[in-house]
Amino acid sequence: MAQIVRGPQAEWADDVEATMLAARALVAISAESVAAVEEVVTPTQLRVLVMVASRGPLNLGAVARGLGVHPSNATRACDRLVLAGLLDRQDDPTDRRNLQLRLTEQGRGVVDEVMDRRRRAIGEVLERMPSLQRVALIPVLTMFAEAAGELPDEHLWSLGWTSATTNVPAADDSIVQAAREA
């Protein structure tokens, strides 16, 4: 049954439905990447690992603020990650009253596995698309992300994404500009 859309977006109802369909596919890819490591970490623990991977060494207060939880909850989550060998806790060299949390090699591996799974899955989807449509998709998705107010790189961890973009080609600025002018 079709959804009834009222207001200024009524004329875009098909666009909205197509975008929701694409979003559902992307959310499924993201969820599958998290499920792949669920025997190793909980979703909250993964957020902590991604936060540390994206922002560098953090203290427990920063982790608590980032998660939006009481410091004791952040401490428990981090303690579990330290015991699992995914985080390393050391004295802060600039303030020995604070501890710094850093990813271990194993913790970096968990984060990299999640991000690599996402990139591979998205790459497989793109590979199934005709090349002309794929090339046209890049500027459209870039403009969609900008219009949505996509989070700056330093906040991507809150959604379980790192800011690392290794092996990801940049969109051709001339294509993006042409699409904006269209």
Q: What is the pLDDT of residues 145-182, one digit of tens each?
A: 888 887 555 555 555 556 554 443 444 444 444 444 44
pLDDT band at 74 (very low <50, low <70, confident <90, very high): very high
pLDDT > 50? residue 50: yes
Q: At 69, give phi and psi (nearest 5°).
A: -125, 170
Which class would CATH give 20-181? mainly alpha
Say what the pLDDT of residue 44 is: 92
What lies within 8 Å, CB to CB, of 82 at 6+ separation is 88, 89
pLDDT 10s digits, 33-42: 999 999 999 9
Say what the pLDDT of residue 169 is: 40
Q: Which of residues 104 and 147 earns the better pLDDT score?
A: 104
pLDDT > 90? residue 68: yes
* pTM exceeds 0.85: no
CB 87 within 8 A of CB 81: yes
pLDDT 10s digits, 107-127: 999 999 999 999 999 999 999
**Residue of 98, 54, 52, 97 lying closest to 77 (CA atoms):** 52
Say what the pLDDT of residue 60 is: 92
